[in-house]
Structure 1
């Protein structure tokens, strides 16, 4: 082989090797490219915490069931951050590195998770924001109309107060986790209804959705305001309502003022039945989970989500995100059957177990 020909061969081999190495490097650092339902692929679920009963009891199994129905050969990887934003960042990074094509993400902290969302986007991994709208380049979003939920809570609280709903009546507001964007929306919706109708004597933005924190805050409010002077308490969800009611009972408040809730947790529904909690908000979690699963499979396989997500929402960092917001309903003693029972969330026997049997009988729930 002459010198010129040898140089040409070596140069060609060098170019070929460089191209191969570049291609390998790209494949190793990216999950881009449409997946196939027939072959299956990996789907991540990253939920925020396990203090609120809904995530482990409803969201996780409902998401997994729908994903398996839509993609039987898909592998579902599940993570729960236990209310730790740093843990969730690590979990999302792991899902990305493990080759998940799409992640259904319910953020612990919607701002703190932005770098992980950006990393997923850069790697070609799709993100479905679930229940909470994370910042960053999210591909789709499903939740409930959170400001409307707050309005429903405010309206139902005024209705429960009856004639005591006057501009001079003092109420306490326990608004929810400061790191959860939904809490701010619930709060805004509630204020839209309550402001001017009652007097907000004390208000708290909590750290986490924890009953113990709510209990401490309301105990402090009772000490400052006086138990007899509190006409109602707005609790943003059922988990905190348990702490609120415990604080009232520990202070020997009787009768209990109306206390709100949200999520239709089993214990929340039971308190509504028993009359210690005025109402909760029924959220059809199955509809939300099914929507997220459909979005995830469509995004991973390169399909449009327009049929699943007919609306759009915007965050501080991303505009016109394909979205679907699901309607909610106030649950009182009058419509337990038409909401959580007909919706398949609970059975009568679950709600009316033990000490709640007589209360169920009184309201005709059997």
Structure 2
């Protein structure tokens, strides 16, 4: 995270977390004479499909590989449910609680409750500002934004004074703030020197895809000369692309994304989306599981070699930071090779020609 991270050692690459409305299966295991039990609370399925399609399977596989008892639940965007899941997990005796918060207030309440019971806590993917989690596992989210900004500028090469609209993530999500910090570090100098023109700029509450589509439709109505759209994730990018299709502008106006979802990859292949950013869920899940298991068994948390500041408390949080990867047509195979998506999922009959053209295997 550039200025936001103090690194003591370089970390690897990664993506995001788990999903699902239901409890996952658990498996008993032991390490160093103890039987660790890790609870994971995921945020929703509405903001991104990644939580269910990428992260839950990856996190489940990581815990199973270590023979560790675990429970993965999804709060489905409900703060009351988020708290109820935490209450149950803590009552059942989890050694470590891993959370992807819904917002700072509800996340902080759960983290404080766990801390009061002597349970180690890990913020996964999103840092809960003011929450005081013991550890944090994520990608370098400023880097994610920088890659989005760089990708958009590459797709706008040759366009004279393009008008750029920005569709930002939820204002309550610290990751959205970091993404914006990253892509604005690329775009702002271009606005300042007049090479780019700043278009409409809106944040989307709850990463709501439907709201993103409505908001962009209004943007296009008031600013019909939009030349490119910096969209903070793939889900909202699909909504923006739908609006562009309705105006026969898809493929003509570059759109960014993030998460490397199946729909996002298909849009990249078809040319409707300029690029996406891949945060390998297997790597993030492995890093999160390894850290959680170390904490649950009393082993040293040697993987947390970065320090990330909580901008609310001013304290540094011991962290595992992973490196994201920009995805364009030429390297879609990197996502498929990782196992985060399959050729069968991406290369449906509708996209068979596009897959063949870039050699998706």
* TM-score interval, smaller chain: 0.7 to 0.9
Structure 1 residue ranges without an equivalent (≥5): 1-34
Give yes or no for the alignment of 1:343 onto 2:338. yes
Equivalent residues of 1:210, 1:240 under 8 A apart? yes
Equivalent residues of 2:250, 2:272 under 8 A apart? no
Structure 2 residue ranges without an equivalent (≥5): 1-29, 191-195
Give yes or no for the alignment of 1:311 onto 2:306. yes
Write out per-residue CA displacement over residues 190-210 of structure 1, whole angstroms, 9 at most, x where no aligned residue: 111001322221111111122
Give yes or no for the alignment of 1:189 onto 2:185. no
Q: In 2, Cα distance between the equivalents of 1:363 and 1:342? A: 14
Equivalent residues of 1:110, 1:132 under 8 A apart? no
Aligned match of 1:103: 97
Aligned match of 1:10: none
Q: In 1, Cα distance between the equivalents of 2:105 and 2:138? A: 17
Greater CA radius of gyration, 1 or 2?
Answer: 1
Aligned match of 2:318: 322
SS of the residue 1:196 aligns to = helix
Give yes or no for the alignment of 1:127 onto 2:125. no
Write out per-residue CA displacement over residues 9-67 of structure 1, whole angstroms, 9 at most, x where no aligned residue: xxxxxxxxxxxxxxxxxxxxxxxxxx955452321010001121111122112112211
Aligned match of 1:203: 201
Relative contact order: is structure 1 or structure 2 higher (C-alpha 8 Å, sep ≥ 6)? 2
Of 56, 65, 74, which aligns to 1:69?
65
Equivalent residues of 2:291, 2:303 under 8 A apart? yes
Give yes or no for the alignment of 1:48 onto 2:46. no
Aligned match of 1:171: 164
The aligned length equals 324
RMSD of Structure 2 on Structure 1 (CA): 1.7
SS of the residue 2:189 aligns to = coil
Question: For residues 123 and 153 of structure 1, do their structure 2 counterparts lie closer, same or farther at Cα, with a shift above 3 Å needed?
Answer: same
Aligned match of 1:359: 354
Q: What is the TM-score with the length of structure 1 in the denominator?
A: 0.84
SS of the residue 2:72 aligns to = strand
Q: What is the TM-score with the length of structure 2 in the denominator?
A: 0.86
Equivalent residues of 1:150, 1:188 under 8 A apart? yes
Aligned match of 1:331: 327
